[in-house]
Structure formats: C-alpha cells, structure tokens
Structure 1
C-alpha cells in the first residue's frame, strides 16, 4: 500500500534499508571472525545489482523482485590479504550507519508529508 501512495522511490528505499540491515549484520560477522583462520570476508551485493537492472529506465515495480540484497564472499580483498582488516570493517560500518540513517530520514519525511495531507494541513 505504501508503494502506491509514495511511488516507486519508497519501494526502492525499503529494499535499500533491507540491504543496509544485511550489510550491518555481515560487517558484524566479519569483525567477529577477525582471527578465524581461513575465514573469507563477506559483503552484501546490492548497488551493483541496481546498476545491472537499469532501474533508472525501468519501472521499479516491475523489476524490484530482480533486485534483492545478497550476502556473498568479498573476493576483492582476497588477493591482498585473506583475513579481515578491522580498520576497513569499521569504516564500512560507519558508512553503512550513515546510509541507513539517511534512508530512514527520507522515508520519515515522506510519511510526514502524507500525514499532513491526511490531516488536511491541520
């Protein structure tokens, strides 16, 4: 219902919030396994899939099922060091926290606009 009231942007923000939550949990798992031999760091793939889905030109309501966050091995650091770097994970955690807060604030503002419309500006 919210998607029909707010449009496709609200649906995209909702899925992005899910991705941010998954990313937070994934980063926490990486930090928890920092001293585990043979552990491969994980990442959440989401933004890359948005680019591939070409959402800018497509109707989000038709393609949202094709774009879901996925936890996958982070092979980008495997050639450098197979272990988890605490400083890198902390930076990722901070960036993800800021992104999450921005998404929540945007959704809150959209909801407050609807509340004003419902109460006829009173």
Structure 2
C-alpha cells in the first residue's frame, strides 16, 4: 500500500469504524450487565490515539497508513471517585450508544464519499 492521501484516509476511516463497532459492543455489554452484581462497566478508548496522530502531524512529522495500523483501542474500567467499580448508569449508557451510532453513521457516509471519489477518479470521470 502506498503512503498516499488516499491510503491514509482509508486507513483512518477504517480504524475509526472498527473502534466505533467495538465501542458499540462494549456499551451493549454494559447495558446487558447493568443488574449483574460485581460487574465493572468498561469504556473503550481510541480518541487518545487519534489525538497523538494529530499532534504528530502538527509537529511536521509524517503519518502513514502503516503507523495508523499500529493504533490500538484500550478497554478501561469505569471507576467511581473512591477507585471502586462504578455502577452501570443506564441513561448514560443509552446516551453513549446513541452518540456512537451517530458517529458510526457519519464515518460510513465519509467512507462512502471517499470511495465514490476514488471510483470517479479510477473511471476518469466517464460514465
């Protein structure tokens, strides 16, 4: 794969879609286990890696699709102020699921648009 804008855009959108899909599963697990005694709700972190990528490019360094492929999501427990596992807050989980669903849809639209542009370029604009 080349390090073109196309490959970086495709890789970034793919990673973000994977993270959104994983986040949806994590949130669904939290909701499903809301009444399970001793269950510790989880959060999936991916924003931090994308912020690292932004800082990297802002400092003038290059970011390629191979570097993006090394980004990993991180599961972390949700703890209360005392460091104990927090209880699942259904209203917060449902809100997080709705927000994640909107983000996923936006990513799908972005990927669809990106692939449409590539398709037009590949066909040389002829239809």
Deviation for aligned residue 1:104: 0.7
- Equivalenced residues, count: 120
Structure 1 residues 1-122: aligned runs within 5 Å: 1=1, 4=4, 6-53=6-53, 54-57=55-58, 58-61=61-64, 63-75=67-79, 78-79=80-81, 82-121=86-125, 122=127
Structure 1: any 5+ residue segments left out of the alignment? none
CA distance in 2, matches of 1:70, 1:26: 11
- The TM-score normalised by the length of structure 2 is 0.81
Deviations 1:72-109 (A, max 9, x none): 2123xx22882101100000000000000111100100
SS at match of 2:57: coil
Does 1-10 or 39-48 show the bigger shift? 1-10
Sort the Cα spacing of 1:87 and 1:2 in 2 relative to 1 into closer, same or farther, 3 A. farther
Q: Distance in 1 between matches of 2:20 and 2:2?
A: 20
RMSD: 2.3
Q: Which runs of 5+ in 2 are unaligned?
A: none
Contact 2:78-2:86 within 8 A present in 1 as well: no
Q: Which has the higher helix share?
A: 1
